[in-house]
Amino acid sequence: MAQLEPGSYLGQAFQRLGDGDGDSSDDYSSDTSYLGSSGCSANDPSDAEPLGSGVPFTGELRHREKHRQRRHKHKWNTRHAVPTLKPEKPEPYDGRADVQIFHKFMRQMTEYLYGYRVRESMHASTISNFLTGHAYRFFVTTVSSNPRRWPVKDFFVELFNYCFPVDYRLQMRDKLRNWDPS
């Protein structure tokens, strides 16, 4: 994404999104630290998977794990309860080329998706509910043919590329260069 300086706050926000798999250590950790890679609560024992494995338990292992979970369910729930406060709905984004508005939308939308534990396959479709104008046109023309294949990071990067001018970084550099503090 050549329009942004990687060290800018929006560039860093894109980096925090990771690769869209939800297990990046920089991934909005203060808001989504309770999420596993599947988008489900890591604190919910019913979602447990063996460490180092991307597949669910089978056979005897599943039986032993469920038995252990039942035995420790009360202790588990009282110590590691998922917060019940849900994030507010994001303000709709209309496609304006304003970095602060875009960053706010991206942050609010990420908190919304993970706060409500929206399945990864539904992320792009859910985001589209909060798009209007030029931004919604991006969804219709680019994403709507197969929204399930759009990870959050890819969606936001392409939305940014669609809504912001190609020479945005140069425009900001010129604006800074021509800025007169007096």
Whether the per-residue pLDDT at 23 is higher than 50: the answer is no
Q: What is the structure's pLDDT at 69?
A: 60
Instruction: Give one DSSP letter per residue of 33-85, joined into a string.
Output: TTB-TTSSBTT-GGG---TT-SS---HHHHHHHHHHHHHHHHHHHHHSPPP--
> Which segments within 76-152 are labelled E, that is strand?
none
- Least-confidence region, from 49-53, 67-71, 76-80, 122-126: 49-53
Helix, strand, coil proportions of the chain in percent (round to 5)?
A: 55, 0, 45
- What's the token pair of residue 58? 């089978």
Name the band, by pLDDT with cuts 50, 70 and 90, for residue 66.
low
Name the band, by pLDDT with cuts 50, 70 and 90, for residue 102.
very high
- What's the token pair of residue 130? 């909060």
Task: Say what percent of the chain tops pLDDT 90.
Answer: 44
- What's the token pair of residue 50? 């063996």
Name the band, by pLDDT with cuts 50, 70 and 90, for residue 158.
very high
- DSSP at 140: I
CA–CA separation, 58 vs 168, rounded Å? 52
Which tops the pLDDT comparison, 146 or 169? 146
Are 1 and 163 contacting, i.e. CB atoms less than 8 angstroms apart?
no
- Span 41-70, average pLDDT: 50
CA–CA separation, 73 vs 89, rounded Å? 32
Whether the per-residue pLDDT at 56 is higher than 50: the answer is no
- What's the token pair of residue 103? 């960053």
Instruction: Write down the mean pLDDT value for the chain.
Output: 75
